[in-house]
Amino acid sequence: MQKNFSSKEQAKETGIYKFQDLFSVNEIAALRALIEEDVEGLTHDFPDFLSRFSYNLSSKVQIKISEIVESLDLLNKVQIITQKELFLSQEIYFELKKGVSHGFPWHVGTYSFGAQQIDDYGCSLWIPFVSLEAELGGGITCVPKDKLSGKFVYEYIEPAVINDISKKIEEGESISYLDYLDLKHQPLNTGYFLRFLESHAVSLDFRLGDALLFDKYIIHRSNKIQDNGPDYRGALVLRFMDKKSTYSKKGDETRHYHVTKFSASPYLKRNLNSLKDGQLLLTSEYFNNRISS
């Protein structure tokens, strides 16, 4: 299904907005070079999903990206669409390679937004480093929020799955980290939910310099690169949070479950444990120097 999603008026309803020509070709090339140098040689536990990725780009790269965000007035451009006062909370890199990695199945951003209260606003700016045709793969597929909001995943599905896994482990069942990932993804990727999501899926074309803005309730997945598609697709994702966001202790513990139970590498190396439940996130040592308007 193809839609434009370049209407500011519809963005609040759908949770999706496509920026056209947000970056120049040279700016994309500079971002790509900056990121690829940072992730060179990185390995991880699930290469079938992504060829390379990083939830924890180096401080040097984070600072450079922050300078780019400021110089291009990106924060203000995002705030005009969302009608929220935001701060840049995270920079992530995802990479697919044709015939090697197929990307993530249907999900929401629980790792990135789990530390804020469920009702607090958050959004992502997805910036591909190559031009993309939807039918050739490599892009991102979303379900508009007016078709189905993913809020229930944060509120009910994620905690329920983790409670179930914890019970299985307590009863002596052997569950690996990859088993955990499979169980975590099953609710949205099997049966009725899978059929529903696919029936309302939206995939877009992207020229070099375009970017997709979507809020944290948007259920989305990667598009596997087709045989006649590009060889590679890298994408920088910038996460933004409402400046009024407050800390969710329960959400943060859920977000870090894979670290505490499976000794996996943390997707986010920031430490927010010093915060009290309900405390403003911007008062934390990690966030208080992030870009804000």
Q: What pLDDT is stored for residue 3 in this prediction?
A: 59
Give the range among 41-45, 150-154, 164-168 with minimum mean pLDDT. Answer: 41-45
Check if the beta carbon of residue 52 is closer than 8 Å to that of residue 39.
yes
> Is the per-residue pLDDT at 276 higher than 50?
yes
- Tokens representing residue 220 in the block: 């989305």
Predicted confidence band of residue 54 (pLDDT cuts 50, 70, 90): confident
> Is the per-residue pLDDT at 269 higher than 70?
no
Predicted confidence band of residue 274 (pLDDT cuts 50, 70, 90): confident
Check if the beta carbon of residue 122 is closer than 8 Å to that of residue 239.
yes
**Taking the CB of residue 186, how many other CB atoms lie within 10 A of it?**
15
Best CA proximity match to 150, nearest among 213, 89, 218 = 218
Q: What pLDDT is stored for residue 293 in this prediction?
A: 42
Neighbouring-strand partners of residue 215? 123
Q: Directed axis angle between helix 59-71 and helix 25-39, to 10°?
A: 170
Mean pLDDT of 136-163: 95
Give the range among 6-10, 12-16, 91-95, 278-282 with minimum mean pLDDT. Answer: 6-10
CA distances from 274 to 125, 139, 183, 231 (A): 28, 38, 30, 44
Mean pLDDT of 9-37: 95
> Is the per-residue pLDDT at 291 higher than 70?
no
Q: What pLDDT is stored for residue 1 in this prediction?
A: 43
Mean pLDDT of 120-128: 98
Which position has the higher pLDDT, 147 or 181? 147
Q: What is the largest CA-CA distance in the chain?
A: 56
Sort 185 into a burial class: Cβ within 10 Å, 0-12 / 13-18 / 19+.
middle
Predicted confidence band of residue 136 (pLDDT cuts 50, 70, 90): very high
What phi and psi, each to the nearest 5 degrees, are found at residue 234? Answer: -100, 150
- Reduced to 3 DSSP states, what percent helix, strand and coil does the chain have, rounded to the nearest 5? 35, 20, 45
Predicted confidence band of residue 2 (pLDDT cuts 50, 70, 90): very low
Mean pLDDT of 34-54: 81
Give the range among 2-11, 88-97, 165-174 with minimum mean pLDDT. Answer: 2-11
What is the SS3 assignment for 82? helix
Sort 151 into a burial class: Cβ within 10 Å, 0-12 / 13-18 / 19+.
middle
Mean pLDDT of 164-179: 90
Best CA proximity match to 71, nearest among 63, 82, 80 = 63
**Taking the CB of residue 36, how many other CB atoms lie within 10 A of it?**
14
